[in-house]
Chain A
Amino acid sequence: MKYIDEYRDPELAHALAREICKIARRPWTLMEICGGQTHTIMKSGLHEMLPPEIQLVHGPGCPVCVTPLELIDKALAIAARPEVIFCSFGDMLRVPGSEYSLLDAKARGADVRIVYSPLDAVKLARENPDRQVVFFAVGFETTAPANAMSVFHAAERGVDNYSILTAHVLVPPAMEALLSSADCRVQAFLAPGHVCTIQGTREYEPLAAKYRVPIVATGFEPVDILEGVLMAIWQLEEGRCEVENQYGRAVRRDGNAAALAIVERVFEVSDRTWRGVGVIPLSGLRLRPEYAIFDAEQRFGIEMPPVPEPADCIAGLILQGLKKPNECAAFGTACTPERPLGAPMVSSEGACAAYYQYRSTSRHDREELYYPVPRA
């Protein structure tokens, strides 16, 4: 398959891994931001191809994992209303709120539907004028343009029975939060390629300069990730801290102008609570006042008290790259995808789910995750 197979070529991957081994003279800790990248690393065993001194820690780039519990409870409260058709990307359905999940709500009679595009939800609203169609607008900058477009369409065409429950988060403020924390041990970032496809790489330049940290916009296939790691380590070894672009087949420095324009038109930047992390200033998107009538929270007047979350799993530490999933005592025992203690075990982009799905034994030491791939 073109544009896939060449980036999964084992020979090319092993050649990159050998090159990394050759140039790495000191131990380095890199963070891949996106959960999709974490999954590729675990599925292909890329971390086993690297020298042990090169640590990959996993970032907060899993939209399902960072959506606060109280917002999921709001989604459940809205979905429970008889006039509502509640639409969501599939991944969000399994995450439990404080009592149950959207999938459970569906089993209890709520009209919950999986859509692949928010525009399908607008279509549903037009086809069902006597119902209220609500779309759970979750995600990073990647999904913001399509979600913005759905609101824009609904406004243009007078689809007034459509609204969105917004849970949009932004990558650079989260990176800044990590970098400004005293515990931060990340020395370079693989920036999420899909987000950069929309946003470009320009907004990472001040971060790289201020915190003296290399940032490489990186794709999602094994060869992409190993090349991103190589570029980051090159910078670290040479003492550079630049924004570089590994994912040149999709990412431009200035991003996608049309996508940015629609986001700018419909959304504005706001503070946002990240599940397991806390409030990060100016790290989310909300609807602009002129589109506020499409805000499901306002339309349904749902107020939820902040839900206290007991501290018996380490999802917060994992989302910040301070711990790895297999360093959690509950991993694979008290906490599994079927009976998750935390959201990272639920989502297909969650780091814990990646470790669980692609684990190699029931024991959870790092060495046990894989049979090692022969190193260079």
Chain B
Amino acid sequence: MTVKNFTIQCPAPKASTDRIVMAHGGGGRMSQRLFEEIFRPAFANAALDARHDGALLALGGARLAFSTDSYVVRPLFFPGGNIGDLAVNGTANDLAMCGARPKYLSCGFILEEGLEIAKLQQVVETMRTAAEANGVELVTGDTKVVDRGKADALFINTAGIGVIEHPVSPTRIEAGDAIVVSGDLGRHGVAILSVREGLEFDSPIESDCAALWPQVERMFAEGIDVHCLRDLTRGGLSSALNELAAAAGFGMQVEENAIPVDAAVRGACEVLGLDPLYVANEGRFVAFVPARDAEAAARLLPGGAVVGAVTGEAAGRVWIQSRMGARRLLDMLSGEQLPRIC
């Protein structure tokens, strides 16, 4: 048996980018491009250009952080929380990541015709509890109802204002800073995916969704000079580090061995073909602190761990030292993480 037609051809597909695809919302490179090419040119201003988790504003002598986020999670209810937890914690956490104490939230509900009111009630009750945990008040809101099929049961938008208590910013990152993560990674993304895919585990993996301000406040109170904070939502740790390395103009190196990932989450990621370093979290963040404060910061955080350091070389790049000892790039996510064939 021989091959007659053994020609070398090249597949040369065209990449089409004239429509929005899901990866534009994935928090990786395509989301970044959307911002750079569509939104930033239209709205450019100093606060937006700072590319923080929220806008840092000076208003009548007060230093404020202002942030907004929309929540479209499916399913609405998942192990460890529901869309209401996300809507309050997500925006409050963005403010906390600006070094700001969250104060006030607005809330817009987009309800699909046919949504059970009991479900809405349950979500709202959760939002009340989450608001208490964050010390915020929901002070204004809006409700819209759309025809059945025009929204996926319930979408929520929240915007929030907080008062800055400590200056944190990518520009404060310095060579030699320690990189501390606040807990184990990947729980939220895996919890959501396991419900969607009907995966069952001996003990269900619960979302890590939580209020982060109390943890941040504890570090401030202990006098840790936190240089920068970033929550590890869409795109996970790798996207956050890449964004910050680019914004700060430094290199970063992390140790694969030091990054905490729960065994069940690792197992689920193996099954689903995902890398936990790219999976979304809703209650985890990364803190950049002076090396002398690294251990103290890790101790103050519930599952804190020092995972790496900022380096003076290779600006804008993030390196990872593999378990085997090889050093390679930890790249940003290109497109969505998609399950593999085999």
Q: What are the residues of chain B within 8 A of A107 when measuring CB–CB?
A: 19-22
Bound Cα distance from A265 to B165, whole angstroms: 70
Contact A313–B11 (Cβ < 8 Å): yes
A202 to chain B, nearest CB (A): 18
The one of B16, B30, B329 in contact with A96, judged by C-beta atoms closer than 8 angstroms, is B16
Contact of A359 among B1, B8, B22, B329 (CB under 8 A): B329
Assess A194 versus B342: contact at CB under 8 Å? Given A173-B1, A309-B12, A360-B329.
yes
Binds A, one of B72-80, B85-93, B117-125, B317-325: B317-325
Residues of chain B contacted by A371 (CB below 8 angstroms): 326-327
List CB contacts (< 8 Å) of B23-45 with chain A: 23, 29-30
Interface centre among B13, B322, B338, B340 (most CB of A within 10 A): B13
Q: How far is the CA of A106 from the CA of B23 in the complex (A)?
A: 12
Return A193 CB to nearest CB of chain B, in Å. Answer: 11
Cα of A357 to Cα of B273 in the assembled complex, Å: 15
State the CA gap A339–B328 with chains docked (Å): 22
A222 at interface, CB cutoff 8 A: yes
Contact partner, A316, options B8, B14, B327, Cβ 8 Å: B8
Q: Is B203 an interface residue (CB 8 A)?
A: no
CB < 8 Å neighbour of A46 from B197, B319, B324, B340: B324
Q: Contact partner of A93 among B10, B323, B331, B338, CB < 8 A?
A: B338
Instruction: Say whether A69 contacts B13, CB under 8 Å.
Output: yes
Chain B interface, >50% SS class:
loop
B9 an interface residue at 8 Å Cβ cutoff? yes
Given contacts A100-B14, A359-B328, A371-B326, contact A94 B8 (CB under 8 A): no
Interface: A255 (CB within 8 A): no
Chain A residue with Cβ nearest B9 = A309
Q: Which residues of A contact B7 (CB under 8 A)?
A: 278, 316
- The smallest beta-carbon distance between B324 and chain A, in angstroms, is 4
Taking a contact as CB atoms under 8 Å apart, the answer to whether A278 and B5 are in contact is yes
A29 within 8 A of B: no
Contacts of A8 in B (CB 8 A): 323
Residues of A within 8 A of B9 (CB): 275-278, 309, 311, 316
A335 to B2, CA, bound (A): 32
Give the residues from 305 to 342 in chain B that come closer than 8 angstroms, CB to CB, to chain A: 319, 322-329, 331, 334-335, 338-342
For the complex, give the distance between the alpha carbons of A107 and B335 in Å. Answer: 14
Residue in B closest to A357 when the chains form the complex, CB atoms? B331
Q: Are B3 and A313 in contact (CB under 8 A)?
A: no
Partner of A360, one of B1, B328, B340, B342: B328
Q: Given the complex of chains A and B, what is the CA–CA distance between A57 and B103 in angstroms?
A: 58
Chain A interface size, as a band, is: 35 or more
- B13 partner, pick from A89, A98, A370, beta carbons under 8 A: A98
Interface string of A12-31 (1 = CB under 8 A from B): 01100000000000000000
Give chain A interface residues in 281-295, CB to chain B under 8 Å. Answer: 281-282
Q: Find B326's partner among A311, A312, A373 (CB 8 Å cutoff).
A: A373
Q: Find residues 167-212 in chain A having any chain B CB closer than 8 Å to their own CB.
A: 173, 176-177, 180-181, 194
Binds A, one of B152-160, B176-184, B263-271: B263-271
- Number of residues of chain B lying within 8 A (CB) of chain A: 47
Within 8 A of B (CB), among A1-52: 1, 4, 8, 10, 13-14, 36, 42-46, 48-49
The smallest C-beta distance from B21 to any residue of chain A, in angstroms, reads 5
A232 interface residue (CB < 8 Å to B):
no
Q: Are A90 and B20 in contact (CB under 8 A)?
A: no
- Interface residue? A213 (CB, 8 A): no
Given A48-B326, A194-B342, A278-B7, does the pair A338, B273 have CB atoms closer than 8 Å? no
- Return the contact of B29 from the options A96, A311, A338, A374 (Cβ within 8 A): A338
Known: A91-B338, A180-B3, A349-B341. A370 touches B327 (CB 8 A): yes
Distance of A369 Cα from B334 Cα, bound (Å): 19
Which residues of A75-90 are within 8 A (CB) of B? 89-90
State whether A348 and B16 are in contact (beta carbons under 8 Å apart), knowing that A8-B323, A309-B9 are contacts in the complex. Answer: no
B311 to chain A, nearest CB (A): 13
| Interface contact B15-A90, CB-CB below 8 Å | no
Asked if A337 is at the interface of the complex by the 8 Å CB criterion, the answer is: yes
Decide if A69 touches B11 in the complex (CB within 8 Å): yes
* Min C-beta distance of B201 to chain A, whole Å: 12
In contact, A277 and B6 (Cβ under 8 angstroms): yes
Contact B11 A315 (CB under 8 A): yes
Highest count of chain B CB atoms <10 Å: which of A10, A92, A173, A338: A338
A49 to B323, CA, bound (A): 13
Q: Are A360's CB and B197's CB within 8 A?
A: no
Given contacts A106-B21, A177-B3, contact A90 B339 (CB under 8 A): yes
A280 CB within 8 Å of chain B? yes
Q: B341 touching A280 by the CB < 8 A rule?
A: no
17 more CB-based (< 8 A) A-B contacts, given A45-B322, A181-B6, A277-B8:
A4-B270, A44-B324, A48-B326, A90-B340, A143-B342, A275-B9, A278-B3, A278-B7, A280-B3, A316-B7, A341-B11, A341-B12, A349-B340, A356-B331, A359-B328, A360-B328, A373-B325
A-B contact pairs, 24 of them (CB 8 A): A1-B263, A10-B324, A44-B324, A48-B326, A89-B341, A91-B339, A97-B13, A100-B16, A106-B22, A107-B21, A108-B19, A138-B341, A143-B342, A194-B342, A276-B9, A277-B3, A278-B9, A279-B4, A311-B8, A311-B9, A314-B10, A342-B12, A370-B328, A371-B326
Interface residues of B (CB under 8 A from A): 1-16, 19-23, 29-30, 197, 263, 266-267, 270, 272-273, 319, 322-329, 331, 334-335, 338-342
A-B CB proximity, top 7 nearest? A45-B326, A96-B13, A90-B338, A316-B8, A337-B334, A90-B339, A278-B5
